[in-house]
Amino acid sequence: MLVQLRGERFELDAVVDVKHVPEIMELSFLHGALTVGAAVPCYQIYENESIAKVFPGIIDAASLIGGIQVQTRASLGGNLCNATPSADGIGPLIVHSAVATITGVDGTRTVPVEDFCTRPGVNVLNSGELLINIRIEARPAHFGAAYQRFIPRNEMDIAVAGVAASVVLDTTGEHIESGRIALAAVGPTPIFAEQASDFLTGQPATAETFAQAGEIALTESSPITDMRGTIVQRKHLVGVLTRRTLAAATERAQGNV
Amino acid sequence: MTQTIDPQPVRKIAVQCTLNGKQAEFLIAPYQSLLETLRDVLALTGTKEGCNDGNCGACTVSVDGRIVDSCLVLGAEMEGKTVDTIEGMAPAEGLHPLQRIFLEEAALQCGICTPGFLVSARALLEKEPNANETRIRLWLAGNLCRCTGYDKIITAVQRARDEMQQR
C-alpha cells in the first residue's frame, strides 16, 4: 500500500493502521477450521507448526511471497485485496474453498475467494468496506493441496504462470472424489478452473487424469503476452503445472489416507 | 530522500522505541517511512535506500527481532518496538564477525547493499547458527546486489557462521 501511495496510484485523506484491530490480526486453527485475519503476516502462518502440517498447500504460497523481509509484513489478505492476476496467495485459497469475511457500514458479508477479484487490481470491496479475515472450513480427511509457479529466478519474482490444485481422495486413496484447480497470471484475475475441477470427480488419481485436467485447464486460461512470458509459453505452463500440482496434492492426500 | 506522500505540513507524531539498545524518542510526520525516519530524522544513514518499493532489501532493519524492509513500514508504527539497524551491529570496539569477514572476503564492491545484507545475515545466524549454503541463499533472496554476483557474500556468511560457532 505504501508503494502504491508513493506511486500516486490513489489519493488518501488518512491512513489507518488496522493492525491494532484484534479480529484483523487473528490467526486461529480450531477443530480443523483455519481463520487468517486480513493483516496476519505470512511468517506467522508458516511458522505455526500445526497449521503448516495440515495446510501445506497454503504454506506453499505463504513461504514464497517476496523474501524474508517482505514476509514479515505481507499478508494473504493484502495479497487478496491487491487483486493482481499473478498473486501467489489467491489460487491456494481458492482450492481450499476459502471464504472472505467483509465488514462495512451496512454489516458483514462473506464472499468465496474465487469471486473476490473482478479485474486487475480491483476487488468486490465497496467504499466503506474492509476485509476482516479469510476462513477455511475443516478439510475432509483425504484432502491434499499444492501450489507451484514458474519464474525465471529461483526466488523473489512474479509468476509467469502459477497453478494451485487440491483433491479429496476416496478411502482407497486411488480415486478422486472431488478436486479444485486455480490458475495465476494467465487471465485478468486469478482463475478458478471449474471445468478442469469438475472433470476430476470420480477419476482415478493417475498421471493420465492429471494430464487431461491440464489440457482442460489451459482452455480456461486467457493469458496475454508481456515482458514475463508469451501466450504460448503460459498456456504450456498451465498444462505442466496442473499435472505437477495435482500429483503433489494427491501425494499429500495419500499421506492423509 | 525528498519524496514524500503528502507535502502539506501536518501534525507530527511522537514515537518512543528502543533503537540499537537505547531508548529513543522522536517526532515524525505520519507519512514518513521507517527508512525516512532513520535517515532524515535520526541521521542514521547506515541504512540505505535502494528501490524504495520492497524489492532490493538495501534498507533491511530488524524490528522486534524480525527483518523487514524499512521502506515498507511507517515510522509511526515503531511505538514500543525494538529496532536494530546496522549502526548497532559492531561491538564497542572492533567489528561484528560478519562485518570483518565481509571485508576480508571482499564481499562488497559499491557497498550500497552491504548494510542490508549484514543485518539480514546476522538475523539468520542468530536464528539458525547452522544454516547451510542453500538456506543462506534462500534467506538472502530478499537482498539484491548488482556488483558481486553473490558468491563472495555467500562465502563470507558461511565463514562467519563457522567462526561464530566456534565461540
Alpha helices in A200-230 (DSSP H): 207-219
Same domain, A107 and A169: no
Which chain A positions have a beta carbon within 8 Å of B52's beta carbon? 3, 6
**Alpha carbons A102 and B153: distance in angstroms, whole number:** 45
User: What is the reported pLDDT for A7?
Assistant: 84
Q: Are A235 and A225 in contact (CB under 8 A)?
A: no
The CA-based diameter of chain A, rounded to the nearest angstrom, is: 58
What CATH number labels B13-85? 3.10.20.30
Alpha helices in B70-149 (DSSP H): 97-104, 114-127, 133-139
Reduce the secondary structure of B57-92 to three states and give it as a string: CCCEEEECCEEEEHHHCEHHHHCCCEEECHHHCCCC
Mean pLDDT (whole number) for A13-33: 93
Residues of A numbered 165-204 whose beta carbons fall under 8 angstroms of chain B's beta carbons: which are they? none
Q: CB–CB of B76 and A5 under 8 A?
A: no
Same domain, A72 and A154: no
Cell of A232: 504460448
Residues of chain B with CATH 1.10.150.120: 97-165
Same domain, A121 and A162: no
**Alpha carbons A238 and A217: distance in angstroms, whole number:** 7
What CATH number labels B97-165? 1.10.150.120
Which tens digit of pLDDT belongs to each residue from A215-239? 999 999 999 999 999 999 999 999 9
Same domain, A23 and A123: yes
Exposure string for A20-32, b = 16+ CB within 10 A, e = fewer: eeeebbeeebeee
Which tens digit of pLDDT belongs to each residue from A64-119? 999 999 999 999 999 999 999 999 999 999 999 999 999 999 999 999 999 999 99
Last residue of a domain, one of A105, A136, A167: A136
- Mean pLDDT, chain A, rounded, equals 95
User: What is the reported pLDDT for A15?
Assistant: 84
Q: Which of A113-117, A151-155, A199-203, B154-158 is the least confident region?
A: A151-155
Same domain, A192 and A228: yes
Same domain, A71 and A153: no
Last residue of a domain, one of A136, A168, A200: A136
**Alpha carbons A220 and A195: distance in angstroms, whole number:** 8
For residue A184, the domain's CATH number is: 3.30.390.50
Last residue of a domain, one of A113, A136, A159: A136
B13-19 and B22-28 beta bridge pairing: antiparallel
Domain limits at A240? 143-255
At A171, the amino acid letter reads: T
Q: CB–CB of B141 and A6 under 8 A?
A: no
Residue A66 touches partner B, C-beta closer than 8 Å: yes
The CA-based diameter of chain B, rounded to the nearest angstrom, is: 54
Q: CB–CB of A69 and B67 under 8 A?
A: yes
Cell of A33: 477450521
Same domain, A209 and A124: no
pLDDT for residue A212 is more than 90: yes
> How far does B120 lie from chain A, in Å, by closest CA?
8
Residue A68 touches partner B, C-beta closer than 8 Å: yes
Same domain, A13 and A131: yes
Residues of chain B with CATH 3.10.20.30: 13-85
For residue A126, the domain's CATH number is: 3.30.465.10
Q: Which residues of chain B have pLDDT under 70?
A: 1-9
Question: Which residue bears the cell 511458522?
Answer: A47
> How far does A78 lie from chain B, in Å, by closest CA?
13
**Alpha carbons B52 and B125: distance in angstroms, whole number:** 26
**Alpha carbons A135 and A99: distance in angstroms, whole number:** 5
Burial bucket for residue B15 (CB in 10 Å: 0-12, 13-18, 19+): buried
Same domain, A132 and A148: no
Q: CB–CB of A3 and B54 under 8 A?
A: yes
User: What is the reported pLDDT for A155?
Assistant: 75
At A14, the amino acid letter reads: A
pLDDT for residue A140 is more than 80: yes
Same domain, A92 and A167: no
Q: Using alpha carbons, select from A245, A170, A175 the residue that is nearest to residue A214.
A: A245
User: What is the reported pLDDT for B8?
Assistant: 61
The radius of gyration computed from the CA coordinates of chain B, to the nearest angstrom, equals: 16
ipTM of predicted assembly, 2 dp: 0.88
Q: CB–CB of A72 and B68 under 8 A?
A: yes
Band of pLDDT at residue A27, cut at 50, 70 and 90: very high
Same domain, A10 and A121: yes
Q: Are B25 and B37 in contact (CB under 8 A)?
A: no
For chain A, the domain total comes to: 2
H or E element at residue B152:
helix B151-165
**Which candidate from A17, A43, A67 shows the least CB-CB separation from B142?**
A67
Q: Is A204 helix (H, G, I), strand (E, B) or coil?
A: strand
Q: CA distances (Å), A190 to each of A9, A113, A123, A236, A237, in order?
A: 21, 10, 11, 17, 15
